[in-house]
Structure 1
Amino acid sequence: MTKNTPFQDFIRYSFFSIMGMIAISCYILADTFFVAQGLGTNGLAALNLAIPTYDFIHGTGLMLGMGGATRFSILKSQNNQKGADTIFTNTVYLGIFFSIIFMLGGLFFSGSLARLLGANQNTFEMTNTYLRVMMLFSPAFIFNDIILCFVRNDGNPRLSMIATVCGSLFNVVFDYIFIFPCNMGMLGAVLATGFSPVVGLTIMSPHWLGKKRGFHFRKLVPDADSIRTNISLGFPSLLSQISAAIVMIIFNMLILGLEGNTGVAAYGVIANISLVVLSFYTGIAQGIQPLVSHSYGRKKTDGIRQFLRYAMISMVILSAVMYLILFVFADPIASAFNSEHNAKLQEIAITGLKLYFTSLVFAGFNIILSMYFTSVEKALPAQIISLLRGLILIIPIAFLFANLWDMTGVWMSFPATELVTAVVGAVLYFIYKNRLYSK
């Protein structure tokens, strides 16, 4: 990080991180496209009902990876190798623990979970299949997220990006093979997705198994302080993913009542495009995290502010470009996922694309600011931002707006939530910006 200018470091880490996050988001986007083509409206609705569980699994992996890797970056900048190894080892312990929980849930409770998420007789079997297999693959998802974060923070963002891109390409290719030539339906879609992180872990193995890595697994008794630090710093990353899951669950529930399975299928288009769009912001946030944490560990306040400024300027430019694309091309984007040429689905999706994504600049601000607070070990404001956008505000606003304005209210509840959260986030930033090194 010290051989380049700050701007060069920002471009390098953010670019590779954005590419990696886009690739991860394409795991589900590829499923959405091929399921829409192969299984139609009911298949798309079933997939959309199951996706929130993926957000919980991926969020858990990010919580452990980002929490552990953030602390690892700070300890590494201070040349504390023992502490770095301790935090990595305890992150692995946590990964094993949560993997077992998700696997048990997939074995014994996938059917109950499918019904809880809203599956009916037309969508239950496909939803249940996707949930069960995906939860059985949870160790691959969780450890892929963990290793990605540590490899990137260990000075190798390029390898992290290559691993995620290759995993995503594998998913796209085998989605097609399993769903169409092999005629495996929803099982094929989830198998392609499940094996994708295995590909990523394999590609990263020269680093995380190599002798030059900066983190090592040690035979240690689980350390309560390391575990607490990991979860505290990583919790906003989990909340960010949970917020996406909660939004999906609440919106699915509201839209089922307003427009039925066709409405849920239309929302599936918006929700999955949102995964890709928001991955740009998550990529920027994760890109500046090791840079900000490194500057924080060395008490370089100018560097911290500089990286945050680069991130926010990039976010505003990207938001304008992406919204323009989504607004102008809403019709062909919706058509790509509407294999049955359902006029009602098309109309709902086009309106949703134009209204839902007015949230972009506020969502990007919140995602980056939350990661900034995490990077400087200020977990509380990061958690406040994540809780507001993922739980405290979105639920009452969604129900209120849906009751007042039906589908228009559903679409506008997300921008309203992000706007209010952004205002609170700005206040928190001004409160905390002069307390970077307070304990």
Structure 2
Amino acid sequence: MEKTLLRDFSKYVSLNILGMIGVSFYILADTFYIAKALGANGIAALNFAVPVYSLIHGVGLMIGIGGAARFGILKSRNKGEEAEGIFASALKLGVIAGLLFVVLGLFGSRALSSALGADAVTLPLTHAYMATLLAFAPFFILNNTVLAFVRNDNNPKLAMTAMLVGSFSNVILDYIFLFPLGMGMFGAAFATSLSPIISLGILSTHFAARKRKPAFLKHKMTRPAVMDILNLGSSTFIMEVSSAVVLTTFNLLILGLEGNRGVAAYGIVANLAFVAVAIFTGLGQGVQPLISKYYGMKKWELVKKVKEYALLTAVLIAGLIYAGTFTYSDTLISLFNNENDLAIAQLADKGMKIYFLGFFFVGINIVTAMFLSATEKARAAFIISILRGLAIIVPLAIVFSNMWQMTGIWSAFVLSELIVAGFALYLANATEKGTLVYGQFD
């Protein structure tokens, strides 16, 4: 049993981490090519628009992970029809959410760009990028939703393939649209927006061989199913929205301290951090199907083992990430500092070496929140996510920036993740011992 569990753990985790690394290229490739084509103002503009991407991505993950967690539990209990009904409700909910974002893009993207910090110099660039992302929001959300269900339907390899092909197509299209075609900021956003459509095309092969009526036509969207999906997926949504809140808060604080150069430096750090977060998200998404499956089968010892493997893997990954960024920080920064601006390079270098210490705790927090969601402790997972995104880091960033300027801003991220990690480990331990019962936090 131990060998089988390790094999399944390695398979799901490695495939999902690889896939999420590919997904992180959505923004990273944009950062690289925008730096080459549009310089520091382009990076700053992108950084102002990224919170909207995080919000769209978060809605997709909430629907996908929330629905897939219930789908996995129902399947493990041989309730196939109910599982299909959850899938149908998730798809329809994703379409509705995506259309709401489209409306926001049509009527509010310019005002939103200004509210997120774009000034007269960066506003046209930020608006072009943001409006395009919002127009394609239904595809981003549906892609995240279908990925989660395909993964839970015993096809993690196809999910990884879809993520990687979609992401690498973005890299190629970025180059074509920005350089030979000279489409500017719109071209970068358009390349990113085509990627989920390509991914969905690949994922559709999972359903193509099935002769029966598709689930989304066979089943209606029901209120209980929607509430269940949102409940189980809420912590994942808050995790992503947390990134947007932190990014916006840091942008505005740094804008006051160092101007657009400071925001550009933070843009470099934040986009490299985006890859690190994607790796931990891949770890969390990889263990979710296994935890949901064993939880549904009431195999508590296996649930505990998966959690332990995941936490150990998170710490090992954090060590590798920090060693790599500390050793090669100059090289990494130079990739995005096309104008060789010394001020940007110095700010980003110092920031990266402090900020990335936080990833020793980020992995613990993401894995624990996913574990609690997959074992129906949705409210406990939600509390972890709220602490990460709003309750601790925002006040710390405001206070520390007044006391120690940029050093304080970088340090706020590290300290907040450390505090949350302590609380997360307490909740995970309480769940394991049975002192955290369904109803205490749920």
Residue identity matched to 2:194: F
Q: 1:367 to 1:215 in 2, by over 3 A?
A: farther
> Could you give the per-residue CA deviations for residues 220-264 of structure 1, whole angstroms, max 9, x where no partner exists?
443111111100100111111111111100000000000000000
Mean Cα displacement is larger for which, 376-385 or 85-94?
85-94
| Kept in 2: contact 1:144–1:197 (CA 8 A) | yes
User: Which residue of 1 is the match for residue 199 of structure 2?
Assistant: 200
| Kept in 2: contact 1:45–1:264 (CA 8 A) | yes
User: Which residue of 2 is the match for residue 342 of structure 1?
Assistant: 341
| Kept in 2: contact 1:133–1:191 (CA 8 A) | yes
SS of corresponding position for 1:299? coil
| Kept in 2: contact 1:105–1:135 (CA 8 A) | yes
User: Which residue of 2 is the match for residue 145 of structure 1?
Assistant: 144
Residue identity matched to 1:144: N
Query: What is the alpha-carbon distance in structure 2 between the residues aligned to residue 280 and residue 176 of structure 1?
Result: 25
| Kept in 2: contact 1:178–1:188 (CA 8 A) | yes
Q: How far apart are residue 219 of structure 1 and its match?
A: 4.0
**Matching of residue 323 in structure 1 with residue 322 in structure 2:** yes
Q: 1:75 to 1:4 in 2, by over 3 A?
A: farther
**Matching of residue 353 in structure 1 with residue 344 in structure 2:** no
Structure 2: state its 5+ residue gaps. Answer: none
User: Which residue of 2 is the match for residue 62 of structure 1?
Assistant: 61
How many correspondences in the alignment? 438
Q: How far apart are residue 93 of structure 1 and its match?
A: 1.8
Q: How far apart are residue 312 of structure 1 and its match?
A: 1.1
User: Which residue of 1 is the match for residue 154 of structure 2?
Assistant: 155
Q: 1:73 to 1:212 in 2, by over 3 A?
A: farther
| Aligned 1:20-169 pairs, distance under 5 A | 20-169=19-168
**Matching of residue 418 in structure 1 with residue 420 in structure 2:** no
User: Which residue of 2 is the match for residue 275 of structure 1?
Assistant: 274
Query: What is the alpha-carbon distance in structure 1 between the residues aligned to residue 207 and residue 194 of structure 2?
Result: 19
The CA RMSD over aligned residues, in Å, is: 1.6
User: Which residue of 2 is the match for residue 403 of structure 1?
Assistant: 402
Identity of aligned residues (%): 43
| Kept in 2: contact 1:88–1:215 (CA 8 A) | no
Query: What is the alpha-carbon distance in structure 1 between the residues aligned to residue 293 and residue 220 of structure 2?
Result: 28
Q: How far apart are residue 210 of structure 1 and its match?
A: 3.1
User: Which residue of 2 is the match for residue 366 of structure 1?
Assistant: 365
Q: How far apart are residue 428 of structure 1 and its match?
A: 1.4
Q: How far apart are residue 214 of structure 1 and its match?
A: 12
Q: How far apart are residue 213 of structure 1 and its match?
A: 9.5
Q: How far apart are residue 328 of structure 1 and its match?
A: 1.1
Mean Cα displacement is larger for which, 216-225 or 322-331?
216-225
User: Which residue of 2 is the match for residue 429 of structure 1?
Assistant: 428
Query: What is the alpha-carbon distance in structure 1 between the residues aligned to residue 11 and residue 369 of structure 2?
Result: 21
Q: How far apart are residue 215 of structure 1 and its match?
A: 7.9
SS of corresponding position for 1:109? helix
Query: What is the alpha-carbon distance in structure 1 between the residues aligned to residue 437 and residue 80 of structure 2?
Result: 22
Q: How far apart are residue 209 of structure 1 and its match?
A: 3.4
SS of corresponding position for 1:74? helix
Q: How far apart are residue 25 of structure 1 and its match?
A: 1.0
> Could you give the per-residue CA deviations for residues 174-224 of structure 1, whole angstroms, max 9, x where no partner exists?
101110111111011001000000010001111033318998224444311
Query: What is the alpha-carbon distance in structure 2 between the residues aligned to residue 232 and residue 361 of structure 1?
Result: 28
Q: 1:195 to 1:397 in 2, by over 3 A?
A: same
User: Which residue of 2 is the match for residue 263 of structure 1?
Assistant: 262
> Could you give the per-residue CA deviations for residues 78-110 of structure 1, whole angstroms, max 9, x where no partner exists?
110121011111111211111111000001101
Mean Cα displacement is larger for which, 310-319 or 342-351?
310-319
Query: What is the alpha-carbon distance in structure 1 between the residues aligned to residue 204 and residue 243 of structure 2?
Result: 30
Query: What is the alpha-carbon distance in structure 2 between the residues aligned to residue 39 and residue 137 of structure 1?
Result: 23
| Kept in 2: contact 1:52–1:244 (CA 8 A) | yes
SS of corresponding position for 1:377? coil
Query: What is the alpha-carbon distance in structure 2 between the residues aligned to residue 224 and residue 403 of structure 1?
Result: 47
Query: What is the alpha-carbon distance in structure 2 between the residues aligned to residue 106 and residue 8 of structure 1?
Result: 44
Query: What is the alpha-carbon distance in structure 1 between the residues aligned to residue 176 and residue 140 of structure 2?
Result: 22
Query: What is the alpha-carbon distance in structure 2 between the residues aligned to residue 12 and residue 76 of structure 1?
Result: 20
Query: What is the alpha-carbon distance in structure 2 between the residues aligned to residue 78 and residue 178 of structure 1?
Result: 48
> Could you give the per-residue CA deviations for residues 283-316 of structure 1, whole angstroms, max 9, x where no partner exists?
1111010001000000001110111111111111
Residue identity matched to 2:377: K
Query: What is the alpha-carbon distance in structure 1 between the residues aligned to residue 95 and residue 168 of structure 2?
Result: 27
**Matching of residue 245 in structure 1 with residue 244 in structure 2:** yes
> Could you give the per-residue CA deviations for residues 102-121 of structure 1, whole angstroms, max 9, x where no partner exists?
00000110110011011111
| Aligned 1:172-251 pairs, distance under 5 A | 172-211=171-210, 216-251=215-250
Structure 1: state its 5+ residue gaps. Answer: none
| Kept in 2: contact 1:58–1:141 (CA 8 A) | yes
TM-score, normalized by length of structure 1? 0.97
